[in-house]
Structure formats: structure tokens, C-alpha cells
């Protein structure tokens, strides 16, 4: 399972070193593509089809939503060819989209890896922390409300 954060750097020739732990988990054949919130996604070739299926569901029809995902993710996908040191060249289109200039962070997220500009990630992480806190508070309040309602119904029927 892919977990944790790993830092790397973009070289002058637009190469990025994939951390060893990630290479061990994903294997030699990987796919990189645009992802959401301005980051990139890196997955094993074997996981690529599963990821796409999760995004578009079981639909066999090429409806508007599927076409949008196709254009956004599939059209930006590249096979990753690692050199002997575990590096690959980041395609220009992905460089521009991600805003990666020098410092890079790899995030292990179970079956996939997100690749972020470190600066962009640090900003996003601050916002995510706030949103996570608010989401947890909301869930806790909803659970308390459900318990209170269930408790009052049980008292009424007793």
C-alpha cells in the first residue's frame, strides 16, 4: 500500500527521481497524468484501468461526463520510462499544468501517488486541514443528532 510523503527535486533536464519505496510498490511500468487540484497522478500500469473505471463507473456509453474525464485525464497520460537511477522526464504539458518548478512531493494514497509542487502542496494542505476539521465536526454533530433522535424514539415506545 502506498502511504506517506516523499520529497524530490526537478532537475534542469526536467527529470524527477521517483522515491525507491514508490518504485518498489508500483513496479517498472507506470502511467502519469493530470489529476485534480493541480497535481499529477502516478499509478502502475496494472492499476491504470482500475483507476479509470472508478472515475467513469460501469457506463458503456460515452456521455458528456465520461468525455470530460477522457479529455482531462486520458489525453494527458504518459507511460513513464525510468532511467537506471529511477528518474523520468516530466512531459512539458504536465510541467505546465502542475506548476512544478523545483521542489516536488510524492503523496502515497493507497493505490495511487499524487505528485505536487511542494509549494502548492503546502498551501493545499493548510486548507485541507481546515476542511477536514470542519467535516469531522459536522459528522460528529450529525451522529449526535441521530443518537438523540433514536434515544427519544426509544423512550416514546417504552
Domains of the chain: 2-118 (3.40.1550.20)
CA atoms of 102 and 111, how far apart (whole Å): 25
Order of strands across the sheet that contains 2-9: 2-9, 103-110, 113-117, 40-44, 30-34, 78-80
pTM of the model: 0.80
pLDDT at 158: 61
Q: Are 55 and 63 in contact (CB under 8 A)?
A: no
- 34-90 pLDDT, tens digit each: 999 999 999 999 999 888 888 777 666 677 777 888 788 888 999 999 999 999 999
pLDDT at 55: 77
- 95-104 pLDDT, tens digit each: 999 999 999 9
- 76-90 pLDDT, tens digit each: 999 999 999 999 999
The SS3 of residue 73 is coil
Q: Are 77 and 33 in contact (CB under 8 A)?
A: yes
Amino acid at each position: 500500500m502506498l502511504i506517506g510523503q516523499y520529497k524530490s527535486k526537478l532537475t534542469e533536464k526536467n527529470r524527477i527521481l521517483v522515491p525507491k519505496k514508490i518504485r518498489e510498490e508500483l513496479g517498472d511500468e507506470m502511467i502519469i497524468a493530470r489529476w485534480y487540484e493541480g497535481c499529477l497522478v502516478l499509478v502502475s500500469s496494472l492499476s491504470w484501468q482500475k483507476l479509470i473505471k472508478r472515475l467513469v463507473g460501469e457506463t458503456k456509453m460515452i456521455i458528456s461526463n465520461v468525455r470530460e474525464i477522457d479529455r482531462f485525464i486520458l489525453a494527458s497520460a504518459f507511460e513513464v520510462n525510468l532511467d537506471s537511477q529511477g528518474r523520468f522526464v516530466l512531459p512539458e504539458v504536465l510541467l505546465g499544468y502542475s506548476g512544478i518548478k523545483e521542489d516536488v512531493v510524492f503523496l502515497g494514497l493507497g493505490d495511487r501517488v499524487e505528485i505536487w509542487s511542494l509549494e502548492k502542496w503546502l498551501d493545499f494542505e493548510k486548507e485541507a486541514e481546515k476542511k477536514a476539521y470542519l467535516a469531522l465536526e459536522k459528522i460528529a454533530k450529525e451522529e449526535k443528532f441521530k443518537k438523540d433522535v433514536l434515544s427519544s424514539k426509544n423512550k416514546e415506545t417504552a
